Amino acid sequence: MAALAPLAASAGQPSQAPAQATQFVTQTDRLIVRYKDADTNAARGIAAGAISTARQALLARAGQTFGATLSALRATVNGANVLKLSRSMTLVEAKQLAAELMARDPDVQYAEPDRIMVPLATPNDPSYSQQWDLFEAKGGINVAAAWDKSTGSGVNVAVIDTGYRPHADLAGQILAGYDFISDTTIANDGSGRDTDASDPGDWAPAGSCGAGVPAMDTLSSWHGTHVAGTIAAKTNNGVGVAGIAYNARIVPARVLGRCGGYTSDIADAIAWASGGTVANVPAAPYKARVLNLSLGGSGACDTTTQNAINGARSRGAVVVVAAGNANVDAGSTSPANCAGVIAVAAVGRSGGKASYSNYGSVVDVAAPGGDSSGGGILSTLNGGNTTPAADTYAYYQGTSMAAPHVAGVAALMLSANPNLTPDEVEAKLKSTARAFPAACSGCGAGIVDAAAAVNAALGTSATTTPSTPTWTACASEGGTCSFSGIREVRYGSGTTFVSKTVNGSVACTNAVFGDPTPNVVKSCSYSSVTVTPTWTACADENGTCAFSGTREVRYGAGATYVSRVFTGSTACSNAVFGDPVPNVVKACSYSSITQ
């Protein structure tokens, strides 16, 4: 029986970057108040912010109830007033005060806390800025935008690999697994199968795996620990790296040891992790919806393996497999050539095929695996050359690193929509994959896009019924319609309207909307349904971002952005946008919503 090997290539050096803290601010010393006559005042040339004595008296009385005085600071762009409070209060209290203002003064259109915003979802893990594979426009998987909607909660991912090392950046992420290695020499832990899936090391002296194999002494790889970190390293813990599905959990199934691992052990692990029954092995306490197999060997798909994969899929598991590192057609690499798996090729930092990656018609999608020109994939590791030593981090390259990116995204999708079948997950990963920005022939449908895949997963939820919008009148013709978020705005009269999707406010005029009902006074109303834009990566720093129409363009890294509105194209540079994240390579993306 052929031994299968882990599919990682070389390691590089870990490095550090400054931490970015992310913490929500839960207090404010400001309110925003807009009066109902703001539109007509603007039309008459009366400056917003000039609050009448009568209104000031009502403000003062409302403030007294909360032990605060309110003073006008300035007007906002849409004619509302920013009020300074004499003391800071919690957002809960500020909302109560805003409600008090609205109750006391019927002229108030709305009042709300002037909340302090912070960049969302940017992990504070100090090495995140080195994880180009997560955020860069060319070779990355666009995961930060997915984290707004899914972080993998409730989904278990089986890492069918060398086992795991306890690691500070994996603490609490690893569930009970199993050691499937039946051969004590391969196991290297002095025993056969048992409940301890920890990795004792897979170092191999020269010639210990057969004549001339390996050619020279090899060090322990800690391969499964690296794969596990890519999928679900602890994130926003101020330590090390970020994981893709960081609220998912890892089920370690140990199948690879010194010299590799047997197909029979791997097949049992596939069955067990997905909730199947394996003789003489206790049932898995934690069933996995995603199985990651960053391993392979040459030859056709074994019947044993195919049967195990069929069984896992019948129990709802998504099976993700590395395509292999021999720069050959993956049709000759198993289990990448098995039916029903998602076979993953590797791209480098440029988004082109990694030199080593297998390719061909059995490949479904590509993901970052790193290459020697742009660097590898940084993840959790152990520092021991042979037996375990201290926690560390290291760059590895390989389709072994690409596969867990896809497994992590699959976990995000299943967390967002647990009803998806394995075939639906695969179809959505493919349909939302991003076009290759550099040559990658035989690399499947494209580079996996985590945010687009999660959006697609959410979009088809059978249990979600679209809500019917209601419409709120917001301005007469010539006025300004203002609201929160991005919404559809109707302009017209009676039942004749034209509509646009608008961010925040819009002039309610023929100039903006055209004239759907000539010679009739029109008005605007906005929809109760907010629209969520999706973002398409368009350029790396110092490139040119091009698109159709007038759109918002974001510039930044991770989830820290500045954004501006452009028509047609813009340079993606500090000169245009300023520098939201110094010392980090930034990129641009454009909104799906035209303005």
Tokens of 572: 């993606």
Q: How far is the CB of 580 from Ca ion (least distance, A)?
A: 22
Q: Does 194 bind Ca ion (CB under 5 A)?
A: yes
Which tokens sit at 470? Answer: 């209601």
By the rule CB under 5 A, 107 interacts with Ca ion: no
Work out whether 234 is an interface residue with Ca ion (CB under 5 A). Answer: yes
Pairing of strands 249-254, 587-594: unpaired
CB of 182 to Ca ion, least distance (A): 9
Q: Which span (161-169, 274-282, 398-406, 586-594) binds Ca ion, by CB under 5 A?
A: 161-169
C-alpha 367 chain-centroid distance: 14
Q: Catalytic residue at 329? A: no
Which one of residues 100, 189, 202, 268 is an interface residue with Ca ion (CB under 5 A)?
189
Closer Cβ to Ca ion, 131 or 536, answer by number: 131
Report helix, strand or coil for 191: coil
Chain-centroid distance, C-alpha 16: 22
Instruction: Check if 223 is active-site.
Output: yes
- Closer of 189 and 426 to Ca ion (Cβ): 189
| Residue 129 identity | S
Binding status of residue 258 toward Ca ion by CB under 5 A: no
**CB burial readout 355-388, b (16+ within 10 A) else e:** ebbbbbebbbbbbbbbbeebbbbbbbbbebebeb
The Cα–Cα gap between 75 and 91 comes to 21
Among 112, 114, 161, 169, binds Ca ion (CB under 5 A): 169
What minimum distance in Å lies between the beta carbon of 233 and Ca ion?
5
CB of 96 or CB of 182, closer to Ca ion = 182
CA 107 to CA 56: how far, in whole Å? 12
> Which residue stretch of 187-195, 445-453, 460-468, 532-540 sits at the interface with Ca ion (rule: CB under 5 A)?
187-195
Q: Which is nearer to Ca ion, 181 or 367 (CB)?
A: 181
Closer to Ca ion by Cβ: residue 16 or 191: 191
Please report how close the Cβ of residue 381 comes to Ca ion at its closest, in angstroms. Answer: 13
What's the CA gap between 42 and 24, in Å, rounded?
Answer: 35
The span from the CA of 530 to the CA of 197, in Å, is 47
Q: Measured at the alpha carbon of residue 222, what is the angle toward residues 221 and 224, in degrees to the nearest 5? A: 120
Member of 179, 371, 391, 488 binding Ca ion (CB under 5 A): 179
Cα separations in angstroms, 427 against 436, 457, 472 = 18, 10, 39
CA angle 456, 461, 462 (to 5 degrees): 145
- The interface region with Ca ion, picked from 231-239, 404-412, 443-451, 542-550 by CB under 5 A, is 231-239
Pairing relationship of beta strands 342-347 and 318-322 according to DSSP bridges: parallel
Contact call for residue 191 and Ca ion (CB under 5 A): yes
Helices (H), 274-383: 303-314
Does position 265 bind Ca ion by CB under 5 A? no
Distance CA 267, CA 309 (A): 8
161 classed as catalytic: yes
Catalytic member of 167, 223, 226, 405: 223
Q: How far is the CB of 246 from Ca ion (least distance, A)?
A: 8
The answer to whether 426 contacts Ca ion (rule: CB under 5 A) is no
Q: Which is nearer to Ca ion, 240 or 404 (CB)?
A: 240
Query: 398: Cβ–Cβ under 8 A, 6 or more apart, which residues?
Result: 7, 8, 9, 294, 322, 325, 346, 356, 369, 370
Residue 227 contacts residue 321 (beta carbons within 8 Å): no
Question: Least Å distance between CB 176 and Ca ion?
Answer: 15
Task: Give the residue carrying structure tokens 């705005």.
Answer: 489
Contact (CB, 8 A) for 159 and 232:
no
Of the listed 161, 302, 329, 449, which one is catalytic?
A: 161
Instruction: Give 560 or 570: the residue with its C-beta nearer to Ca ion.
Output: 560
Q: Measured in whole angstroms, how far is the alpha carbon of residue 34 from the centre of its chain?
A: 36
Stretch that binds Ca ion, among 42-50, 167-175, 537-545, 552-560 (CB under 5 A): 167-175
240 contributes a contact to Ca ion by CB under 5 A: yes
The CB-of-169 to Ca ion minimum distance in angstroms stands at 4
- The C-alpha torsion from 131 through 137 and 142 to 145, rounded to 10°, is 110
Strands 471-476 and 391-396, by their bridges, are unpaired
Interactions with Ca ion, residue window 356-415 (CB under 5 A):
none
In the region spanning residues 115 to 134, those forming contacts with Ca ion, defined by CB under 5 A, are 125
Q: How far is the CB of 193 from Ca ion (least distance, A)?
A: 6
Question: Shortest gap between Cβ of 7 and Ca ion (angstroms)?
Answer: 23
Candidates 69-77, 183-191, 396-404, 438-446; binding stretch for Ca ion (CB under 5 A): 183-191
* Least Å from the CB of residue 277 to Ca ion: 21
CB of 126 to Ca ion, least distance (A): 8
234 vs 405, which CB is nearer to Ca ion?
Answer: 234
CA gyration radius, the chain: 28
Stretch that binds Ca ion, among 92-100, 192-200, 211-219, 325-333 (CB under 5 A): 192-200
Nearer to Ca ion, 39 or 199 (CB): 199
Q: Which of 83, 134, 187, 403 binds Ca ion (CB under 5 A)?
A: 187
Looking at residues 485 to 524 of the shown chain, list those that interact with Ca ion (rule: CB under 5 A): none
Where does this chain touch Ca ion (CB under 5 A) — which range of 236-244, 272-280, 293-301, 315-323? 236-244
Q: Which is nearer to Ca ion, 246 or 566 (CB)?
A: 246
Q: Which is nearer to Ca ion, 183 or 579 (CB)?
A: 183
CB atoms within 10 A of CB 573: 17
Separation CA 550–CA 342 (nearest Å): 38
- Choose the catalytic residue: 150, 274, 400, 505: 400
User: According to DSSP H, which parts of 387-476 are helical?
Assistant: 399-416, 422-431, 450-459
For the purposes of burial, counting CB atoms within 10 Å of the CB of 216, is it exposed (0-12), middle (13-18) or buried (19 or more)?
exposed
CB burial of residue 149 (10 Å; 0-12, 13-18, 19+): middle
Is position 16 an interface residue for Ca ion (rule: CB under 5 A)?
Answer: no
| Residue of 285, 247, 293, 270 lying closest to 407 (CA atoms) | 293
Q: Residues touching Ca ion: how many (CB under 5 A)?
A: 12
Active site members? 161, 223, 400
Residues that bind Ca ion (CB under 5 A): 125, 169, 179, 187, 189, 191, 194, 233-234, 237, 239-240
